[in-house]
Structure formats: C-alpha cells, structure tokens
Structure 1
Amino acid sequence: MVKAVNLLVVLLILFSGVASADVTEVTATVDRNPVTANESFVLTVTVNDDVSNNAFEASKLLQDFVVGRTSVSRQTSMINGSLSKQTRFTTVLIPQSPGEYTIPEITIKGVSSKPINLQVLKQGTDSDTEQRIAFIEAQVDSTNVYFQQPITYIARLFLAADLNKGNLVPPQVDNADVQQIGRDEESTQMVNGRRYKVYQRVYQITPNKSGSITIPGARFDGEVFTQGQRSIFSSFSNTQPVSAIAEGIDVNVLPVPDSWTGHWLPSELVSLSASISPEQDEYKAGEPITLSYMLTAVGVKPEQLPEIAPDFPSSFRVYPDNDETDSFTRNGVVISQKTVSFALVPEQAGDLVIPEFTLPWFNTKTQQRTIAKTDNMTLPVIMPAGMTQSDIAEAAPTDSRPDTANEKAANTSAKQDINTVASKPLVPVWVIIALTAGLVISLLLNLYLLIKRKSVKSQEKTVKPESADNLNRSRSWQDFQKACKNNDAKAAQESLINWAKTHLDGSFNSLAEVAKRLNIEEEIKPLQASLYNASSSKWTEGKTLYQKVRKQIGRMNIKQQSSTLPQLYPS
C-alpha cells in the first residue's frame, strides 16, 4: 500500500511538472560564421520546452537563403526531481550571394531569440576553406552550342565527413532535356590541406530552344556523421544535415543555320553502313534478300535519329522488314543506333545495282555540314531454270509490286526500234522465206517428237516412280499439312518446296517455281506477301492453299489410293 502511494505521488509530481512547464528561453545558433556562397550551414533553434513541430517555420528566411529541410528532435531529463524538456529544430540554409546578412529573431510562444549577423564569402575564398564540409563544383564541355546539340554537364560533390544519406539533384533547366549518363564515380582529393571524398556524376543536357539559357547548379541534400559520440540517454542524433549548390552556368544556344536543308542532326560523329544477308556469289530472281542499314550517332538521343528511306530501283520488289532503335553509354558518352531492314526480291537477271544512300549531318566539332553515305552495291542475279521475268513478276502480290510505268515505256520504245529495223530488208526476200520454211518444219518435227515422248511418259507416271502409300507417308507432305493447319507461312514454304523436289519432275528452288508448276499463282500470293513483308498481317490462308494444292495434284492424275492425301480440313 505504501509503494502504491509513493508511485502515485511521483506521477502527480510528473504531471504537475508537465502542466506547469512553459517556454522561457529560445536560442538560435549557426554551426559556422562566416560561410561561403552556395554552400550550406546549419541553423539550430533550441526551445526549453516540448513544442509542436510547426512551432518554428523557416519560410521567413526564404528571402535571403535557400531553405532545406528542417528536422526536429526532443529530449526529456530529470535531475534531483526536477523535470526538464527541450525541443531542437535543425534547418539547413544556403546563401546564394556573398555579403552581410542577418538571421532575424526567432519567436516561439512569445519568446524570441537574438538575431545573428552572418558574413557570406565569395565561393573560393580561402578564409572558409577549413570549415567547409560539403561543396559542389560543376562544369560543361561547351558554353556555345547549337540547337539540340548535347551539352555534357559534370557535377562533382566534395564531402569532408562520412556520408549517412543524401541525394544529388540534377540541374532543372527550362526548355531542355536532362538525363544522367553512366554511373557515379568515387575518389578522394586533397583541397587546401583537407581530405575530401569526391562523388562525380555526369549529365547530358539537350537544349530544345535557341537563345541564352542558364543551367542552375546541381544540388545536394543529405546528412553526414558528426565526430562527437551520441549519448544513450539523449534522443538527439549524431548526424548533421548538409546541403550544397553548384554555381549556375550561362550557355548560348545558336539556332539551326538558315542554309540547312534536310533533317537536323548535330553530333560529334555519325556513321552509316549497309549489309546484305545472306552473302552469296550470286542470287536468284524471285528469292528474297535482306538489306540492312545501320545508323550510329554519338551524343544524341534515339528520337533525334532521322528516318532511313532509300530509293530502290524498279528491278526490285521492296518490303519493309524491321526497324530497331537503341542507345547505350560508352566512356561517358551516349551513342544511339538505328537499324532498318528491307526484304528485296529481284525481278530480273543481271548485275543489279543498289545505289548509295546519303544522309547529311552537322559536325559539331568542325561546325560544318557532313555527309554519311553507303557505297553502291552490285548484286549478280540469275534467272532460275525454267523461269522467265514475266513468271517472277506474275508471282508477286499485286498490291506490293512497284510502279513499272517507266519499264513499260522502255519496253514499248525498244519494240518500236525493233520494228523499225525489221522493216528494212537486209537480205533477199526468197532467202528469208526459205529459212523460215526450214525453221517451221524443224519446229513442227521437234514438237511432234516431244508430244509423243510426253504422252508415253505420262502413261507410265506423272510423279517419280513411287507408290501411293509412300506418297501418303511422305514426311514433307505431313509437314505441309501441319504448316497449313497452323498458318505457319515459313514452314509451309519450306515443306511445299521439299515435297515438290521429291514428288514432281524437275528442279524446284523457289516458291514461284512450285506455284507455276501447280498453277496456284493466285493462291500463293498471300503466302509470299507474308514471307516478304514483315508489316503485313499474319498469314491466314493455310486452309485455302492446302485445298488448292490437293486439288491440283488430283488434276495431274497422280495415281493414289483413297487414303492418299487425307483431308486436313474436313468439309
């Protein structure tokens, strides 16, 4: 009972102390004086009572200083039965210009602190070097650039104490894009006899407007550990808030030259290359070839790269195939790349030339217009056996064929020239008649023998000597059935060509040759468009193509049992 009474007395004393406590003293101190412009110092306001967090507002100091975050800590102690409380406000302030300043009195619950006279030194003054805990140096690679020419901005944070936590804020530039390049670098450096840990970060700033711009300094806000030991009975932290701001930098952004034509691409280095796949000694008409262009530019963003749209000769059918854009950083420099591919299908034989492709760009080092270009490429193209140029052209999808108006005009002109020459007899007429008669008789005789040989051969078999069961068990035909069922364009092409090589007379190296033999040129066009044009929709004509091929094989009188070529799509 006595213990309970004693405990009640102690609680009453504590509560009475809390109720009677009041603010009687407010003090304001700074951690150093003088201070340096654009470098932080700490203002500490101490109140001898427990007050709310919003009892101290630093907004009145904004006129002369950049105000950082304010932290609040509290401490309660009892000495000889006397209870005391204390609240401490810690605020980071950054002066932006040298001069004499006054931190006004701080009033909390009617009690005011004394004002503080503060001297702010110009950055770089040796008088304050020994007191500096943190400062930032910033530099750019050029202060005179062109519109959209990238600026390399390097911020270096110097810290003389161990870092607890912090954040380096990039410069906030109007009418410009700012992005970090690469990773931070750490090192140590002696400055006026004091060792600093240096953190370096690189930014790329791309101005989107010409004229004079100011790059505000990068800013650091954080906490460093103090050298004193923290008491286990104290709630005050052993860390100290620190902030720093780099000096602003003025940059002049020049507009695009009036004489410039074409896409504006300012860069230190631009390269353009072209490659053919597959690389062969010769190519066949009607078979696709992949042509890829790669554009590489140093120091620009991917969205600044221009479109790659070469002009191809009419001897090719052209299908856009692929378009990829990428960027990466190497040795602290942003490199952007664009790769564009085309599927080219040659429509005639001969040495076909792909002309050079040129792309103008502005060299920021020489301040001159420069041309990036590819070399002319000559492709030796042969006509597949048994095929003609008209066969290749007819096999092309009608909606993807290039304009051949110039080609038709040239053919018409050539025919007119031949007719003009033919109208002028160079030998006697009777000689021409005799040669023509002999040629006609020879052609008729050869035609008769050819028809007779074909008739005998067709009576034996249209396909290669092979049983109907073998045809039904053909792996290539099963693959063709599966490909058509799944609408797999690539697999359908390969399996149909393989089946034709095995079961039809002749040599088949392309889809166009098989289509001509089976008389399925129209049905094969959607498959060709899907194979040669990556931008077209997915091939969905598998059922139609399979039924047409099966029907055409039946018309060719291939001997087969009822189980041969089972229906993939039952009716």
Structure 2
Amino acid sequence: MKQLHSYLRLFGVGLLLSCCCVISVQAATLSSTVNRNELGINQTLVLTVIYDDQVDSSAIDVSSLVSDFDVLGVSPQTSSSMTIVNGVTENNSTTRWSITLAPKREGKLQIPSFTIGSAKSQPISISVSDTASTGSTTAANQPLAVSVSVEPDSVYADQQFILKVQLVVTQNLSDLGGSQLSIEGGDIQPLGQQTYQQVDNGIATQVVELRYAIFPQKAGDLTIPSLRYTGVLGGRRSIFDSFGMRGEQVIARSQPITVAVKPKSERANASWFPASEVAVDSSWSSDISQLKVGQPVTRTITITAQNQRSSVIPPLPSMLDSSYYKSYQDQPQLSDEVTEQGIIGTRIESQAIVASTSGELRLPEIRIPWWNTQTGEWEDAVVPEQVLVVAADDVGLTASGSEPGVSISNTSAAQQAVADQTESVEALSNLVWIAVVSVLALIIALQFFVIIRLNKQLTAIREHPMSVLDEQDLSAEEAWSVVLDQLKKEDPSGTRLALTHWLRIALQADNDTPLTVLLATLNDDQLSHEVARLDRTLYQHGEGFNPDQLATAALAVRDKFESDYKGSTKSALPPLYPS
C-alpha cells in the first residue's frame, strides 16, 4: 500500500512538471509593420520588426533592403517582463528593431520577410509616387529641398566648370546630412560653403550653398548623379519616447545632370592647356645692367592660370646652352589657390644663367600656347626677347670666355702709343730718342711677359686643377671660373677640389680648411645635399652626381651672398673666422 502511494506521488510531480513545460515552452513569433505603405519619393517610412524573445541586435539582416531602399537608421531595443498567474511564473522578453527607410525609386516596392530561427515575418508592399512632379519643391511646402546647377553646361576636357548645390531648409529641421559627391570621370575640388537666410513665399528659410570645381577627364557625357540629403523634422527627443525616436526623418534628392564634354583642340607643338585667362611675368635676382662674364644671374618666370590647376600648366621650353652662356634649370614650384570662382594655378620656373662672353647676350622670346575657354581659340602668352649687356670680368677674359689675354683693341692702342711716342721724339737728340725707345720697348716686353705668364697659369688651373689649385693665388672670380669648367667636364674629383678652393677664398678660410667645415659655415641644405651625392660618387661608387643640380645649388649660394653684400668692400661671403 505504501508503495502504491509513492508511485502516485511521483506521477503527480511528473504531471505538474509537464504542465509547466507546456506553459513556458511556446514558439517565438516574428512580425513586421510599417507606419505607412504609401509615400512620396522624398519621404521616409519606419519599419518595425518585433521578435518575442531576447536575441542579439544582428539577428536580422537589413542588407536585403538596400536594393529598393536607403537604410537611414537602425535602432534595436530589448525589453523583459515577468508575470505570475496562479502561482506560475512566466518570463517575457521582446526584441524590437525600428528601421528608417527612404525609397530609391518610384513604383511598387517590397519589404522582404525576415527569418530568426524557425520564425518568419511576412513581406510588405510599399507604393512610392513622384510627389515632386505634382507641385513646387521649395520650402513653402517641403521641409527640405535641394537644387543643383552647373556653369557652364558645355566644356572641353580638363576645362573647369562650377557645380552649385543649394539646400533650402525650414527653421525646425535638424541633423542635416548628405551623401559624398562622387563623379565618375571627373576631378572634384571643393570650393567651400556659405549659409544665409532668405524668405520664400513668406516662410523664413535657411540656405546652405555648396560649390565645387569640376574638371572632366575626357570627352563625352559627364553625369552628375542624384544627390541625397536628409534631416530630422521636430528633432527634439521626448522623455516619453522609450524607443529614442527624434521626430520624422525627411529626405530630398536632386535630379541627375549631364554635362557635354568636347574633345581637346589640337595644335602643333602645343600641350593642351585650357584656361579662362593666362598671365606670365619675368623677374631677375639682381640688377642685370651690371652683368659680368662668369657672374650668375637667375631669371624667374611665373605663369598664372585662371580656372585651371597648376599641374596642367606646361613646362617652359628648355634653353639650350651655347658658346655665349650656360644655363642651370631649377625644380618648378606648383601651387593652387582656391577661390569662390574656382582654382587659380601657378607655376614658377627659375633658371640660372652664366654668360661666357662679353657683349650683347640675346635671350629669345618664350611663347606659351593656351586655349582660351571664353573665346574658344588658341592664344600665346609671351615672354619677350631680352638683350643683356655683359661686361668683361676683372681678369681680362677674351671673347671665348675661357682664356685670358689682351684684347685686340688694347694691343692696337699700345702700338699706336709707340708710334705717337716715336713721332714726338724725332725732333729730339739721338740720345733722348734712344732712351725713349728703350723705355717703351721695356714696357711692351714686360706687358707681354705678364700676359703670357697669366695665360699659362689659368690654362694650367683649368686643365690640371688637382695638381695646381693649392699652389695658385687666385681671386674668388678666378676660382669660381674653375668650378664652372670642372662642372662642364663632369669631373667629380676636379669639381670637389675646385669647389673647396673657391669656398676657402670666398669665406676667407685657411688653406687646410676641409669642405665639411666650409659647408657647415654656409648652412645651405641644398648645396650640402649635392656635395653628399658627389662624395658618394667618389668614395662609395653610389649614385652619380648631377653637375647641373650642383651648379644650381652653388649659384644660389653665390647669388644670395652677392645680394646680401652688394656694394660692400667685404668679401661676397661672410668670413669663416670673423675677427
């Protein structure tokens, strides 16, 4: 009997547990609802998905919506509750997603079903109409409106046109945002934005204007895609809003715009360079009216292009060296200025010129072809021909600029002086006549002796600088002439020795001062860099030194100190060991 009672108790407990399981184990459900199923193309809707159990916020995949909708925001929320009925405790959990959607097109769209485990929601049909075609899109009847315009609407490849985007918003619209501008086949340069107030049909509105400079890369149709901007209407969050909704989200879209891009216009020996205006300016680093043989001077040419980037401005034609001068080109400087009207590009080129002969030095005119986008014709920006008057240097260089000697005019003058003296003493006695002739003959002999010796001296310096430089008592100009000769020969060893000797003289340093100390005194990064390349060529068999770049760096140092100490009785460079 006791055993029967035990079985009954066990049966009762099992039945009670089974009932509890039946009550607590129920299949979870998944449902989808929307706040509207008919809307305009510039309106939004809120999709609410509810699952009556607690799951991770990533349990539903919203990527299935992006084919027909822009997903503007996803706000997941979870909640839990507990109820007790007839002594039975029941726990309830819910996960809710609030998803703000904006339709991408008109017509019949569908929100697909979602699946979590075995639960599945039903799809929802949405009807989207073109509300923009039924009335004005101004802020008078819309909280957000957008307009897009271009100027001009037909351009050439690489020609600038301005894209202007105007957003008109009402005073109670917040959280304004939009998609990033991207144009296939076009370079984009933002020009900035401005905000101002205006009254539209009696409604006070705020206007945000964005401007861009666009440069099409090739001929054909360039399409500016539809631009989308969003905002929140009545954006203050309510303390009673448990799901964090901050008001209705509104959207505005612009219509796509097509710009016709014409092909480049061809011209022989001319790079394609479109601009609305081009200006060119030329300047010199020092007074060219006092130019001497062997004295470097730098010409700077500045090209300014309205409504064009500096990268499109073509380089100037190279000046070919001749027997009259040697030129050294510096690296160009490019810069772009952003203005409200567009881009102003600037290209600056500098060139050091060293005259090798006295007399008139003619620099030919420089023509820069460019395409005038306002007239639709080719034009030329011109740097006029310039004539420089070059005086002989202080050591009596001949017309070749490389060998010292007496000019023909000086020799003739000496001979004429002899003739004049001879005629003037014919009336004197023989003794006086012989004395005069003897003195003149001695003077002429001494003159030719000095000239021949100087000629041999400078010739030895140029041909064998390694062996004779330290033995010569040269001026700074003579030493500089040797530097130029060694650079022309592209002799790294001779160049280093000649440069060291010139800097010792210019800096008034001791004869045993090393080049590294001289460079440290100058504190010129460019010259130090080029000498380092020279040393790698000599001692490490590294990259070859560049004579033109080394000459440019040395010329810049020489120009700088000649400018700083112009008119001074001191050396052109500051002394290494000041007293």
Please give the residue correspondences for 1:145-544 in structure 2 after superposition, counting only pairs within 5 Å: 145-160=155-170, 161-164=172-175, 166-170=177-181, 172-181=182-191, 183-220=192-229, 224=232, 226-227=234-235, 229-231=237-239, 234-238=242-246, 241-259=249-267, 261-311=269-319, 314=322, 315-389=324-398, 392-393=401-402, 444-447=441-444, 477-478=508-509, 482=513, 484-486=515-517, 488=519, 532-534=551-553
Compute the displacement of 1:481 (Å). Answer: 5.3
Is 2:42 aligned against 1:42?
Answer: no
State the TM-score, normalized to the length of structure 1: 0.63
| Worse overlay, 356-365 or 195-204 | 195-204
Write the letter of the residue equivalent to 2:290.
E
Whole-Å separation in 2 of the counterparts to 1:147 and 1:328: 21
For this pair of structures, how many residues does the alignment match?
429
Q: Could you tell me whether the CA contact under 8 Å between 1:75 and 1:236 is conserved in 2?
A: no
C-alpha separation in 2, matches of 1:267 and 1:309: 20
Tell me what 2:152 maps to: 142
Cα separation, 2, equivalents of 1:16 and 1:223? 49
Q: Percent identity?
A: 19
2:220 partner letter: G
CA separation of 1:72 and 1:358: change in aligned 2, threshold 3 A: same
1:104 CA drift (Å): 4.7
TM-score (norm 2): 0.62
Secondary structure of the 2:239 match is: coil
Residues 437-487 of structure 1 deviation map (CA, whole Å, 9 limit, x = unaligned): x99977633235669999xxxxxxx99xxxxxxxxxx99543775573435
Q: 1:228 to 1:338 in 2, by over 3 A?
A: closer
Secondary structure of the equivalent of 1:112?
coil
Question: Once the two structures are superposed, what CA deviation does each residue of 1:476-532 show, in whole Å capped at 9, x if it has no partner?
Answer: 543775573435299599xxxxxxxxxxxxxxxxxxxxxxxxxxxxxxxx9997763
Q: Which residue of 2 aligns with 1:101?
A: 108
Separation of aligned partners in 2, 1:196 and 1:16: 62
Work out whether residues 42 and 242 of structure 1, in 8 Å CA contact, stay in contact via their aligned partners in 2.
no
Judged with a 3 Å threshold, the aligned counterparts in structure 2 of structure 1 residues 304 and 384 are, in CA distance, closer, same or farther, namely same
Q: Distance in 2 between matches of 1:191 and 1:89?
A: 35
| Structure with bigger RCO (C-alpha 8 Å, 6+ apart) | 1
1:388: Cα distance to partner? 1.4
Unaligned stretches of 5+ in structure 1? 1-14, 396-437, 455-461, 464-473, 494-525, 539-571
Task: Find the aligned partners of 1:136 and 1:280 in 2 and give their Cα distance.
Answer: 59
* Residues 303 and 348 in structure 2, CA contact (< 8 A), matched pair in contact too: yes
Aligned-residue CA RMSD in angstroms? 4.6
- Residue 366 of structure 1 aligns to a residue in which SS? coil
Whole-Å separation in 1 of the counterparts to 2:245 and 2:400: 87
Equivalent AA in structure 1 for residue 390 of structure 2: V
CA spacing shift, 1:91–1:18, aligned 2, 3 Å: farther
The one-character-per-residue Cα deviations of 1:412-454 (angstroms, maximum 9, x if unpaired) are xxxxxxxxxxxxxxxxxxxxxxxxxx99977633235669999
d(CA) in 2 for partners of 1:94, 1:376: 66
Q: Distance in 2 between matches of 1:174 and 1:61?
A: 26
1:312, 1:354 within 8 Å by CA — same for their partners in 2?
no
Shift of 1:250: 0.9
